[in-house]
């Protein structure tokens, strides 16, 4: 692991097997001896800190957590920024207002899901696409021929503050500039402890929350961290690895690129048809999608006896009909939940299916629609502010 002095430098990278991965500029505040890190979008991030994950989950649901996340903003700017994004994204962006964010998908020419993320309009001809895992910056450059645009890495690292106390924390951190009037998927520049930074009311948990985007080397990252933690302390803010976030994002039906969705499935199969605007004109993958089946093949599965593990096969009698892409214990529902990806569309919802875990155990699960609860998204939109009561226990050991 790099020294703390080295780790505070945003440009610090670590070379592993000839690949260079970017170190977090917050590592001096987040590292501990139990830290286990992963790589996502070529950036290190903490996936485990030795914490009690269920305790952190309830801190997220009842107070707030701060996450050092690896999602990567890519800047698209120039006179042709709008027509270029109309070409590479399946969602119309020309009608976006400044300070607005859209969830948007990029498809392959064959109609598969190449990338998902959120596009923000920072100015008339300036956009950020906050990408998931995958080589999206290279993809954009490869398709930019004939467009007067620049594709660049703004070197922005992202923090997420998520949970019901997040509005009070961000209000304190911004001197009152951020409050309840900031709508879901709205964004803008705000002064946070003397530093002007981009903030959006978004996140990866389906809890009320915000994302804070640093400004490359111009940002004093450790001062920002200390400011946020100081403002959050009266509201019970804690730092967490990604594990609590993973539980909540799966409960909330948020899909992971390259794990739950990939180039082998269309947005329709992933249940993301509402984010494909077939009427907006041509975009990469449109012609391949015109005659494709619009029915989804990705659903939820609940289980009272085990956590559906990634890689488990789904059985209809003795026939394998799908697989589990991800699974977690759901402390709110008191059972195991996961994503069930079927090989073909059918009337799967409401059916009881068997699945075989990688260790050979077989369990029964119920196929359900996504998300697993709060289908109207009242929590993330701030309509439902009720603090959830904690369940006493799970029906099996999920730790």
pLDDT digits (tens, 9 = 90+) for 179-194: 999 999 999 999 999 9
Model confidence pLDDT, tens digit, residues 18-29: 468 999 999 999
- For the segment 132-146, the average pLDDT, to the nearest whole number, is 97
- DSSP-derived secondary structure letter, 257: B
Q: Are 369 and 154 in contact (CB under 8 A)?
A: no
Q: β-pairing, 352-356 with 237-239? A: unpaired
Q: What is the pTM of this model?
A: 0.93
What pLDDT is stored for residue 340 in this prediction?
Answer: 98
Length of the chain equals: 399
pLDDT tens, position by position, 291-349: 999 999 999 999 999 999 999 999 999 899 999 999 999 999 999 999 999 999 999 99
**CB neighbour class for 147 (10 Å; exposed up to 12, middle 13-18, buried from 19):** buried
Helix (H, G, I), strand (E, B) or coil at 5: helix
What is d(CA 108, CA 111) in angstroms, rounded to the nearest whole number?
Answer: 5
Average pLDDT over residues 72-77: 98
Q: What is the pLDDT of residue 391?
A: 81
Tens digit of pLDDT for each residue in 43-55? Answer: 999 999 999 999 9
pLDDT of residue 395: 75
Mean pLDDT computed over 46-71: 97
pLDDT at 15 over 60: no
Residue 13 reports pLDDT greater than 50: no
Closest CA to 383 of 215, 208, 244, 246: 208
Q: Is the pLDDT of residue 124 over 50?
A: yes
How many C-beta atoms lie closer than 10 Å to residue 21's C-beta?
A: 17
- The answer on pLDDT for 111 being more than 90 is yes
Confidence of residue 398 (pLDDT cuts 50, 70, 90): low
Q: Tokens for 336?
A: 């195991």
pLDDT above 90: residue 1: no
Rounded to whole angstroms, what are the CA distances from 154 to 11, 69, 73, 199, 214? 12, 16, 7, 15, 9
Residue with more model confidence, 399 or 78 = 78
What confidence score (pLDDT) does residue 245 get? Answer: 97
pLDDT of residue 318: 87
Q: Is the pLDDT of residue 262 over 90?
A: yes
pLDDT for position 19: 61
Mean per-residue pLDDT over the chain, rounded = 94
Q: So what's the pLDDT on residue 396?
A: 74
pLDDT of 261 above 50: yes
| Distance, C-alpha 11 to centroid of its chain | 24
């Amino acid at each position: 692991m790099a020294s703390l002095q080295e780790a505070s430098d945003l440009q610090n990278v670590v070379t592993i097997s000839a690949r260079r991965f970017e170190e977090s500029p917050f590592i001096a505040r987040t590292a501990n001896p139990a830290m286990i890190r992963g790589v996502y979008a070529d950036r290190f991030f903490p996936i485990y800190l030795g914490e009690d994950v269920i305790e952190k989950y309830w801190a997220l649901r009842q107070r707030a957590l701060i996450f050092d996340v690896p999602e990567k903003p890519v800047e698209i700017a120039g006179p042709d920024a709008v027509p270029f994004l109309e070409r590479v994204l399946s969602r119309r962006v020309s009608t976006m207002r400044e300070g607005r964010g859209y969830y948007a998908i990029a498809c392959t020419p064959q109609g598969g899901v190449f990338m998902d993320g959120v596009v923000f309009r920072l100015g008339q001809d300036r956009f950020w696409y906050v990408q998931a895992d995958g080589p999206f910056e290279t993809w954009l450059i490869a398709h930019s021929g004939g467009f007067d645009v620049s594709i660049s890495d703004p070197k922005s690292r992202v923090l997420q503050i998520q949970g019901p106390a997040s509005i009070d924390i961000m209000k304190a951190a911004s001197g009152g500039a951020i409050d309840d009037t900031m709508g879901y998927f709205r964004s803008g520049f705000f002064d946070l402890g003397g530093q002007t930074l981009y903030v959006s009311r978004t996140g990866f948990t389906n809890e009320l929350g915000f994302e804070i985007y640093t400004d490359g080397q111009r940002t004093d990252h450790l001062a920002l961290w200390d400011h946020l933690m100081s403002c959050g302390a009266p509201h019970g803010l804690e730092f967490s690895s990604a594990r609590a976030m993973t539980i909540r994002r799966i409960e909330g039906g948020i899909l992971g690129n390259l794990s739950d969705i990939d180039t082998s499935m269309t947005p329709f199969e992933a249940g993301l048809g509402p984010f494909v605007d077939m009427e907006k004109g041509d975009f990469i993958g449109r012609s391949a999608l015109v005659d494709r089946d619009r029915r989804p093949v990705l659903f939820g599965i609940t289980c009272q006896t085990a956590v559906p593990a990634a890689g488990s096969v789904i059985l209809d009698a003795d026939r394998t009909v799908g697989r589990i892409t991800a699974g977690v214990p759901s402390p709110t529902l008191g059972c195991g939940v996961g994503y069930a990806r079927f090989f073909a569309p059918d009337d799967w919802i409401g059916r009881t299916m068997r699945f075989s875990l990688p260790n050979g155990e077989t369990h029964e699960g119920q196929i359900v629609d996504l998300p697993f609860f709060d289908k109207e998204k009242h929590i993330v939109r701030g309509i439902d502010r009720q603090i959830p009561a904690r369940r006493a226990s799970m029906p099996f050991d999920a730790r």
